[in-house]
Amino acid sequence: MSRVLVIGGGGREHALVWKLRQSSQVERVFCAPGNAGIRELAECVPLDVSGGVPELIRFVKDHAIDFTVVGPEAPLVEGLVDRFTEANLAIFGPGQAAAQLEGSKAFAKGFMARYGIPTARWQVVRSWEEAQQAIRQIALPVVVKADGLAAGKGVTISETKEEALHTLESLMLRDTFGPAGKTVVLEECLQGEEASVMAFCDGQTLLPLPSSQDHKRVWDQDQGPNTGGMGAYAPAPVVTDTVMRHIESSIFTPFLKGLAAERLSYHGLIYFGLMLTSQGPKVLEFNVRFGDPETQAVLPLLQDNLLDLLGATVQGRLRQMYPDGLKVQSGSAVCVVLASGGYPGRYVKGKPIAGLTGYSAAQVATDSHVTVFHAGTAREGQTTITSGGRVLGVTAVDTTIEQAIQRAYQAVKKIHFEGMHYRRDIAARALKVLQRTSS
């Protein structure tokens, strides 16, 4: 029997806790800090995962926790896994050096160049003078990316040089993202369909989960500013078997070669954000952890036991334990994110949420195809209230993507809080791809 600690408190962590709870070997689950939904499945503990690593390690030892899973990127980039490994504690996630693949876009680009991983052409600028000079000669549109972590909001696409300079100015001179924006990557703008592939990585083997697609812009038809993600679906029909084989040979193989050559310790999940271009799949970004909200769409399709998978990853036994890949149920999953009024800008918190009864991930839901994963929620007495920008992720699983879409939106209609907004076109691109391929 195992005791597991999950670090984080968003929709992704709710999905991880929910999936771990389905394992009969899991005795207790702790979550730091968790949220109102996670509280129904795990013991939530208010530990400081950034400043308070010694306390965290003490907590793990005192509670005889066998296994820790890291949800968000920041603790990985700060070296949490290295501290746990030094203390001989089992933990799922890459070491600090490998976490630079997400923590620094300039590092990620250099890594891709060294191992021939296809990606957009780019240049790195480290000062305002360099930036101004680069923009004079750049082809448009240009993608401007803050080098460091920016919660999914550090990327803008500029159609004009003035716009690009304006973005660069706010990153480099006005500190919009603090030190994360002092170095900037300027990139060629790629055309194509976007898709994500998440894979378990034990340094030797990559074991992919079903593909998925996120919806980063806040409004329908990909309008408005970028967000942490307004919804996702899985699998993504653009990632056909042929495309997947191409991804494996042109991206997975050199990726593993690069990890080995640079002695980067990686026992965790790697997320490949891809653009499927006319010249084949290219990497837009790496994330060194489960995607949010992709995880809320992908994990409900996974049939294998999650604790076993995490364990095999940490022990370097993926090839041995999963020679035929992962077991995944047929059908599709759609996750619609319900966000607070104002998000991704300033938003208000503390709004009571109505209509959750029957959709709790802890109970046998009235609609067993639907699970509501909590993200920014908290409890106030007996009431569940909003406490973040992305509040809930409503996931439906069904035989076809059309049915899953319908089911998800039917459930969304029953939930309400003041100011709530959501996209009405989650997975619409999947339908377009399917129409194109069937006609």
Where on the chain is the footprint of ligand GLY (CB under 6 A)? Answer: 152, 214, 229, 287, 291-292, 294
Q: Where are the beta strands (DSSP E) in 182-328?
A: 184-188, 193-201, 206-208, 213-214, 217-219, 223-226, 231-234, 266-277, 280-287
Segment contacting ligand AMP by CB under 6 A, of 54-62, 184-192, 306-314, 321-329? 184-192
Nearest to 337 by CA among 274, 269, 429, 426: 426
**Using CA atoms, how far apart are residues 243 and 281, in angstroms rounded to an integer?**
8
215 scored as a contact of ligand AMP (CB under 6 A): no
Record the tokens describing residue 195, joined without a space.
Answer: 């898709």
151 scored as a contact of ligand AMP (CB under 6 A): no
Which one of residues 189, 328, 362, 434 is an interface residue with ligand AMP (CB under 6 A)?
189
Determine the size of the site formed for ligand AMP (CB under 6 A).
15
**Using CA atoms, how far apart are residues 318 and 310, in angstroms rounded to an integer?**
9
Residue 291 binds what, of ligand AMP, ligand GLY, none (CB under 5 to 8 Å, by partner type)? Answer: ligand GLY
Cα–chain-centroid distance for residue 158? 25
Residue 143 binds what, of ligand GLY, ligand AMP, none (CB under 5 to 8 Å, by partner type)? Answer: ligand AMP
190 scored as a contact of ligand AMP (CB under 6 A): yes
Neighbour-count burial for 275-290, b at 16+ CB within 10 Å, e otherwise: bbeeebbbbbbbbbbb
Nearer to ligand GLY, 16 or 356 (CB): 16
Nearer to ligand GLY, 155 or 307 (CB): 155
102 scored as a contact of ligand AMP (CB under 6 A): no
Say if CB 292 and CB 358 are below 8 A apart. no
Sign of the C-alpha dihedral computed for residues 153, 155, 159 and 165 taken in this order: positive
The SS3 assignment for 303 reads coil
Nearer to ligand AMP, 251 or 306 (CB): 251
Record the tokens describing residue 237, joined without a space.
Answer: 């029909």
The SS3 assignment for 258 reads helix
Segment contacting ligand AMP by CB under 6 A, of 182-190, 242-250, 293-301, 367-375? 182-190
**184-188 and 142-146 as β-strands: parallel, antiparallel, unpaired?**
antiparallel
Nearer to ligand AMP, 187 or 294 (CB): 187
Say if CB 272 and CB 256 are below 8 A apart. no
Residue 408 binds what, of ligand AMP, ligand GLY, none (CB under 5 to 8 Å, by partner type)? Answer: none
The least distance separating ligand AMP from the CB of residue 414, rounded to whole angstroms, comes to 30
Residue 190 binds what, of ligand AMP, ligand GLY, none (CB under 5 to 8 Å, by partner type)? Answer: ligand AMP
**Using CA atoms, how far apart are residues 6 and 28, in angstroms rounded to an integer?**
11
- Point out which residues pair with 371 in neighbouring strands: 395
Torsion from C-alpha of 170, 174, 176, 177, nearest 10 degrees? 110
147 scored as a contact of ligand AMP (CB under 6 A): no
The least distance separating ligand GLY from the CB of residue 9, rounded to whole angstroms, comes to 15
Q: Please list every residue from 107 through 146 that binds ligand AMP, using CB under 6 A.
A: 120, 143, 145
Nearer to ligand GLY, 298 or 372 (CB): 298
The least distance separating ligand GLY from the CB of residue 303, rounded to whole angstroms, comes to 23
Nearer to ligand AMP, 81 or 143 (CB): 143
Interface positions with ligand AMP (CB under 6 A) = 120, 143, 145, 152, 155, 157, 187-190, 194, 216, 273, 284-285
